[in-house]
Amino acid sequence: MGKHVVGRAGDLPPGARRIVEAEGRSIGVFNVHGTYYALRNTCPHQAAPLCLGAIKGMTMPSKPGEYIWARDGEIVRCPWHGWEFDITTGRSIFNPHKMRVKTYEVTVESAADELPDEVETFPVTVEDGFVVLHV
Amino acid sequence: MTITEPITTAPVLAREGLVDCDVHVSPRTIDEIKSYLAMPWRDRYNGGGRGLFGNPVHGARLDSTPPGGGPTGSDPDFLRKQLVDEYGHAYCIILPRAFCNLHPDPDFGTAVAAAFNDWLADTWLSKYNHDGVFKGSITVNVQDPIAAAREIERWAGHPHFVQVMTDSGARAPFGQRQFYPIYEACERHGLRFAIHPGTDGMGINIQPSPGYPTHYIEWHTGLSFAFQSHLVSFLTEGVFERFPGFGVTLTEGGVSWLPALMWRLDAEWKALRSEVPWVTKAPSAYLRDHVRLSSQPLENPDNPKHLLQIFEMMDAEHILMFASDYPHWDFDSPTHAFPKLPEAMHRRIFSENAREWYNLP
A112 pLDDT above the threshold of 60: no
What is residue A47's predicted lDDT score, i.e. its pLDDT? 96
A5-53 per-position pLDDT tens digit: 999 999 999 999 999 999 999 999 999 999 999 999 999 999 999 999 9
Q: Which of B62, B330, B331 sits opposite A54 (nearest CB)?
A: B62
CA A45 – CA B246 distance, rounded (Å): 38
Smallest Cβ distance to A46: which of B55, B63, B336?
Answer: B336
Instruction: Measure CB to CB from residue B63 to each of A46, A77, A79 and give the nearest one.
Output: A79
Contact criterion met (CB < 8 Å) for B62 and A79: yes
Secondary structure of B309-330 in the HEC alphabet? HHHHHCCHHHHEECCCCCCECC
**Closest chain B residue to A65, measured at CA:** B214
Listing DSSP states for B267-307 in one string gives HHHHHHGGGSTT--S-GGGGHHHHEEEE--S----SSHHHH
Contact predicate B229/B171, CB 8 Å: no
- Facing A46 at nearest CB: one of B55, B58, B337: B337
Q: B332–A81: do the CB atoms touch at under 8 Å?
A: no
How close, in Å, is residue A22 to chain B by CA atoms?
21
ipTM of the complex: 0.80
Q: What is the pLDDT of residue B106?
A: 96
Q: What is the pLDDT of residue B52?
A: 87
Residue A122 pLDDT class (50, 70, 90 cuts)? very low
CA–CA distance, B147 with B161 (Å, rounded to integer): 18
Residue A117 reports pLDDT greater than 90: no
Residues of chain B neighbouring A46 (CB-CB closer than 8 A):
331-333, 336-337
Report chain A residues touching chain B, CB-CB < 8 A. Answer: 45-49, 52-54, 77, 79-82
Note whether B62 contacts A: Cβ–Cβ < 8 A. Answer: yes
Per-residue model confidence (pLDDT) at position B15:
86
In degrees, rounded to 5, the angle at the alpha carbon of residue B65 between the alpha carbons of residues B63 and B197 is 90
pLDDT of the residue at B49: 74
Tens digit of each residue's pLDDT (9 = 90 or more) over B284-331: 999 999 999 999 999 999 999 999 999 999 999 999 999 999 999 999
- pLDDT digits 0-9 by tens, A60-93: 999 998 999 999 999 999 999 999 999 999 999 9
* Position B201 confidence tier, pLDDT thresholds 50, 70, 90: very high
Residue A124: the pLDDT is 41
Per-residue pLDDT of B128-180, as tens digits, reads 999 999 999 999 999 999 999 999 999 999 999 999 999 999 999 999 999 99
Count how many Cα atoms sit within 13 Å of the Cα of residue B203 in the half-sphere of its side chain: 20
Q: What is the pLDDT of residue A14?
A: 96
A93-97, A110-114, B15-19, B317-321: the lowest-pLDDT one:
A110-114
Question: Is A45 in contact with B330 (Cβ distance < 8 A)?
Answer: no
The CA distance from A73 to the nearest CA of chain B, in Å, is: 15
Residue contact B63–A77, C-beta within 8 A = no
Residues of A in contact with B58 (CB under 8 A): 54, 77, 79, 82
Residues in chain A closer than 8 A to B63 (CB atoms): 48-49, 52, 79-80
When pLDDT is cut at 50, 70 and 90, the band that residue A120 belongs to is: very low
At B342 the pLDDT is: 96
- Beta carbons of A47 and B62 less than 8 Å apart: no
Residues 220-279 in B contacting A (C-alpha not used; CB under 8 Å)? none
Q: Do B58 and A82 touch (CB under 8 A)?
A: yes
DSSP assignment of B87-136 equals HTEEEEEE-----GGG-S-HHHHHHHHHHHHHHHHHIIIIIT-TT--EEE
Percent of chain A with pLDDT strictly greater than 90: 79
Averaged confidence pLDDT in chain A: 89
Residue B7's pLDDT band, with cuts at 50, 70 and 90, is low
B47-63 per-position pLDDT tens digit:
877 778 999 999 999 99
Give the range among B10-24, B105-119, B275-289 with minimum mean pLDDT.
B10-24
Q: What's the rounded Cα separation, in Å, for the pair B350 and B346?
A: 6
Does the distance separating the beta carbons of B58 and A46 come in below 8 Å?
Answer: no
Mean of pLDDT values over B86-100: 97
Between B259 and A113, the higher pLDDT residue: B259
Beta carbons of B63 and A81 less than 8 Å apart:
no
Which residue of chain A has the CA closest to B328? Answer: A80
B198: left (phi over 0), alpha (psi -120 to 50) or beta: left
How much is the average pLDDT of B1-25?
74
Measured between beta carbons, the chain A residues lying within 8 angstroms of B303 are none
Under DSSP, the state recorded for A91 is: B
